[in-house]
């Protein structure tokens, strides 16, 4: 008998499930990125984390720049449509604020590895990395021969995070979770983990999900936390749009260590939760 | 270069857009490829099926997305699939006619680097990395590449091969087991290059209007082969220019606003 998800505050959920040295996946492909959870991890000063994400995005730039992370597994590390993730680059190029080990993939490999994690298989398989230099630098990428056709295929060890954290549109009072739109790799990432924490825009009486909707049943989720706006500056389809202007503004904020630290001190360490962060950002805009 | 009523970037985007045949299925990279693919959809190729790696299939955005997964891509798509499904069923499954990619560096066999400038372990400049590109380059039936041309981008030897083009030429690609035909054209702000039929080395086949052969040569980091049938790219038509400019204007408006 599996236990149902507990409705917790985000602060409680991070305290209970995210420990120093843990392997975490905060997923969400452009859409539904769990920013509130990332901020809470930064605020609680977790250290030596191995973090996994296909697209590190600003959320891992913030966690890397504040020293939470010792190892990163990823497949595309930029600020989409804008340029570099400057904190990620500073860590890779100059070991600031601490050395960062990188384990680098392509999207197709990460997707296969998450799917294998969800399936309880030892590795993910794909027709991939052919002729790429990535396998020379990443010992996680091996090649196998198809036992039936002899075709050369890539094999990547399954991703099995201690904790996966995602953001979704809705949960019901029992902790069943519903998401839609660009759903990325979140279902696989949640099923691959020992514990899944889901932040949601709202908790509703009834999900009213269509039979083929992307629903995570409560019994595969450890904790559900209601955090309205918790994906900002990414977006939640049906609730708010991606704040492209913020993504552009981040380039200047993160470019220098000083301006980055000032911003983190003011907007993350200087507030008690994501609600206060949103208010502080709103106030600065007014 | 003589005065024209359009910019070199506009010529590049329009020349790239023309490569996309109507009714084909195109896996679209962000940035220059996304602009070109949408200009194609809004001009000569209304039935092109645009796919973005975030999951939207058959999307028809009214503005260019800043990220590869902006909300409008999902709202205007025929369907949105998960990432594992996108890469497994749709890309590796062989359903993509054109993969449309950008690059930071490219070599004479159209191999591309989007990973690192300098040494991988002690990089001079760390770039975003592979994303979907290695498998798009491998599994799409044909690959189009568009980027601005200069010696920093067009290099004799890549610092890192992120995604394979024609490797060291000839039938190298086939021997390595990549399913698709590989790059069929490279479209820049100066010209169009296509791989030689036998050697697969990039060959200059069309100069954009007003661009000299010397200009192309001094913007390329190797002695570029020139086709014996060197053409001049037709100038942008009025309709192509107005579609592109309207799209850029709508996009700028949509992405402005306060952070």
Cis peptide before A233 (omega within 30 of 0): yes
Q: Which of B67, B121, B255 sits opposite A30 (nearest CB)?
A: B67
Q: Is the pLDDT reported for residue B109 higher than 60?
A: yes
For A232, name the nearest residue in chain B, comparing CA atoms only. Answer: B259
Most B CBs within 10 A among A106, A136, A151, A187, hence the mutation to make, goes to: A106
* pLDDT confidence of residue A3: 85
Q: What pLDDT score was predicted for residue B4? A: 83
Q: Report yes or no: B175 at the A interface, CB cutoff 8 Å.
A: no
Q: Could you tell me if residue A137 is inside a domain? A: no
Q: Which residue range forms the structural domain that includes residue A61?
A: 6-105+160-285
- Cα-based torsion angle of the residue sequence A9, A15, A21, A25 in order, rounded to the nearest 10 degrees: -10
A279 part of a folded domain: yes
Question: What is the DSSP secondary-structure string of A226-262?
Answer: E-TTTTTTSBBTTTB---HHHHHHHHHHHHSHHHHHH
Q: What is the mean pLDDT of chain B?
A: 96
DSSP output for B66-100? SSTT-HHHHHTSSEE--HHHIIIIIIITT--SEEE
Residue A13 within any structural domain of the chain = yes
Residue with tokens 């691959």, as numbered in its chain: A192
- With respect to residue A221, please indicate whether it lies within any of the assigned structural domains: yes
Does A284 have pLDDT greater than 90?
A: no
Domain containing residue A69: CATH number:
3.40.1080.10
A122: in domain = no
Distance from CA of B231 to the nearest CA of A (A): 33
Q: What does the pLDDT average to over A54-71?
A: 98
**Separation of alpha carbons B50 and B25, rounded Å:** 6
Q: Are the C-beta atoms of A142 and A154 separated by less than 8 Å?
A: yes
- Beta strands B98-101 and B105-106 are unpaired
- Give the integer Cα–Cα distance in Å for A124 and B4: 52
What is the number of alpha carbons within 13 Å of residue B68 lying toward its C-beta? 26
Tokens of B5: 């009523």
Secondary structure E strands in A14-96: 23-26, 49-52, 69-74, 78-79, 83-84
Spatial contact of B186 and B6, defined as CB atoms under 8 Å apart: no
Q: For residues A166 and A114, what is the distance between their CA atoms, to the nearest angstrom?
A: 14
Instruction: Mark which residues 224-243 of B lie under 8 Å from A by CB.
Output: none
ipTM surpasses 0.90: yes
- pLDDT at position B2: 55
Instruction: Report the percentage of chain A scoring pLDDT > 70.
Output: 100
In this structure, is residue A164 part of a structural domain?
yes
Q: Could you give the 3-state DSSP secondary structure of residue B185?
A: strand
Distance CA A71, CA B236 (A): 49
Query: What is the pLDDT, as a whole number, of residue A190?
Result: 98
Beta strands in chain B (DSSP E): 25-28, 49-52, 56-57, 79-80, 98-101, 105-106, 112-113, 116-118, 123-126, 142-146, 183-187, 191-195, 202-207, 225-232
As annotated, the active-site residues of B are 53
Looking at the predicted structure, is the pLDDT value of residue A74 above 60?
yes
**Residue B259's pLDDT band (boundaries 50, 70, 90)?**
low
Report the residue from B120, B123, B131 with minimal CB separation from A75. Answer: B131
pLDDT value at position B258? 59
Instruction: Give residue-wise pLDDT tens across range A241-257.
Output: 999 999 999 999 999 99
**Does residue A112 fall inside a structural domain?**
no
B contacts of A85 (beta carbons < 8 Å): 128
Which fold would CATH assign to domain B8-189+238-255?
Glutaconate Coenzyme A-transferase (3.40.1080)
Q: Where are the domains of chain B?
A: 8-189+238-255
How much is the pLDDT for A1? 57
Buried b vs exposed e over B113-147: b needs ≥16 C-beta within 10 Å? bbbbbeebeebeebbbbbbbbbbbbbbbbbbbbbb
CB contact under 8 A, B92 and A185: no
B110: which 2 tokens? Answer: 């159209």
Name the residue among B30, B55, B126 with its Cβ closest to that of A92: B126
pLDDT value at A188 more than 90: yes
B111-170 tens-digit pLDDT: 999 999 999 998 999 999 999 999 999 999 999 999 999 999 999 999 999 999 999 999
Q: What is the mean pLDDT of chain A?
A: 97
Q: How many CA atoms lie within 13 A of A27 on its CB side?
A: 31
| pLDDT for residue A165 is more than 60 | yes
Q: What is the pLDDT of residues A8-19, one digit of tens each?
A: 999 999 999 999
Residues of A in contact with B131 (CB under 8 A): 55, 75-76, 106-107
Cβ separation A182–B54 shorter than 8 A: yes
Residue B38 has pLDDT above 60, yes or no: yes
Please check whether residue A139 lies inside any domain of the structure: no
Burial of A137 (0-12, 13-18, 19+ CB in 10 A): middle
Tally of domains in chain A: 1
Average pLDDT for residues B236-245, to the nearest whole number? Answer: 98
Q: Is the pLDDT of residue A239 over 60?
A: yes
Cβ of B115 under 8 Å from any chain A Cβ? Answer: yes
Distance of alpha carbon A250 from alpha carbon A28, whole angstroms: 19
């Amino acid at each position: 008998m599996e236990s149902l998800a507990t409705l917790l505050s985000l602060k409680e959920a991070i305290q209970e499930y995210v420990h120093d040295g843990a392997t975490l996946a905060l997923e969400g492909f452009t859409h539904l990125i769990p920013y509130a959870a990332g901020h809470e991890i930064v605020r609680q000063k977790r250290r030596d984390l191995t973090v996994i994400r296909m697209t590190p995005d600003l959320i891992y730039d913030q966690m890397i720049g504040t020293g939470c992370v010792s190892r990163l597994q990823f497949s595309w590390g930029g600020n989409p449509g804008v340029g570099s993730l400057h904190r990620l680059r500073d860590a890779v190029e100059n070991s600031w604020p601490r050395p960062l080990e990188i384990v680098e993939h392509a999207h197709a490999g990460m997707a296969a590895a998450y799917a294998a994690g969800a399936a309880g298989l030892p590795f993910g398989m794909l027709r991939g990395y052919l002729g790429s230099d990535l396998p020379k630098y990443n010992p996680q990428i091996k090649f196998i021969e198809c036992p039936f056709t002899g075709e050369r295929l890539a094999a990547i060890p399954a991703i099995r995070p201690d904790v996966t954290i995602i953001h979704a549109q809705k949960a019901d009072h029992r902790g069943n979770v519903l998401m839609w739109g660009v759903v990325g790799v979140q279902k696989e990432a949640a099923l691959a983990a020992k514990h899944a924490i889901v932040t949601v825009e709202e908790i509703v009486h009834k999900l009213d999900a269509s039979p083929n909707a992307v629903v995570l049943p409560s019994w595969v989720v450890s904790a559900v936390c209601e955090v309205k706006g918790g994906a900002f500056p990414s977006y939640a389809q049906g609730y708010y749009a991606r704040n492209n202007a913020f993504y552009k503004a981040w380039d200047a904020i993160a470019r220098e260590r000083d301006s980055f630290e000032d911003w983190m001190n003011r907007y993350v360490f200087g507030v008690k939760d994501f609600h206060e962060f949103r208010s502080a950002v709103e106030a600065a805009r007014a | 270069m003589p005065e024209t009523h359009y910019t070199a970037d506009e010529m590049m985007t329009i020349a790239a857009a023309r490569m996309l045949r109507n009714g084909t299925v195109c896996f679209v990279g962000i940035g220059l490829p996304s602009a070109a693919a949408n200009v194609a959809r809004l001009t000569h190729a209304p039935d092109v099926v645009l796919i973005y790696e975030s999951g939207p299939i058959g999307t028809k955005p009214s503005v260019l997305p800043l990220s590869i997964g902006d909300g409008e891509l999902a709202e205007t798509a025929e369907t949105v699939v998960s990432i594992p499904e996108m890469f497994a069923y749709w890309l590796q499954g062989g359903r993509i006619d054109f993969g449309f990619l950008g690059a930071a560096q490219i070599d004479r066999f159209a191999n591309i680097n989007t990973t690192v400038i300098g040494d991988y372990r002690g990089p001079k400049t760390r770039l975003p990395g592979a994303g979907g590109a290695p498998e798009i380059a491998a599994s799409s039936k044909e690959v189009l590449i568009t980027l601005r041309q200069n010696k920093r981008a067009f290099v004799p030897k890549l610092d890192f091969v992120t995604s394979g083009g024609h490797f060291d030429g000839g039938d190298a690609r086939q021997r390595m087991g990549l399913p698709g035909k590989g790059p069929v054209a490279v479209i820049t702000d100066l010209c169009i290059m296509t791989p030689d039929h036998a050697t697969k080395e990039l060959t200059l086949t069309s100069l954009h209007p007003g661009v000299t052969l010397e200009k192309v040569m001094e913007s390329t980091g190797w002695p570029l082969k020139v086709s014996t049938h060197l053409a001049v790219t037709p100038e942008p038509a009025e309709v192509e220019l107005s579609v592109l400019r309207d799209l850029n204007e709508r996009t700028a408006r949509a992405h402005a606003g306060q952070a």
